[in-house]
Structure 1
Amino acid sequence: MTKKPFNNISEFLIIAILIMLLIELIIVLRSVWLGLTPFGIRLFITLFVLIVVSVYGVKIIEYKGTDKD
């Protein structure tokens, strides 16, 4: 496999994920403020999944970043 310049793309993905998380967090906080509906609980679960995925993705990117010779 050829090496591709993935640094900029991965940084863009991290920023996009953080923005998505921020939007989800605002929606979740609003739904919690208005009282937890099943929709709010579903959003909370998706928020948790997104946080786990983004942390895992950042760790993968950091590992790839330290792999440079």
Structure 2
Amino acid sequence: MHEIIESGVTAADAAGYVEATIRPDGRLAALRIDPRAMYDLTAAELAGACIEAIQRACSARADTTHHTA
């Protein structure tokens, strides 16, 4: 699930541990990590969750870019 906000697009990994916000120009604006991730995930799993959230936000941004053009 993603949300379009004025400063960009925000999306999360499937488990909801990480949220990434991508600016309209495509740059990463924010990366929020739920504190539970420290206890629930290994370092590799957390890295994967970060990548997944960023990829989802980038994809959502691309979708909104095509709809507004």
TM-score, normalisation: structure 1: 0.49
Which of the two has higher C-alpha Rg? 1
Please state which structure has a larger fraction of its residues in strand. 2
TM-score, normalisation: structure 2: 0.49
Please state which structure has a larger fraction of its residues in helix. 1
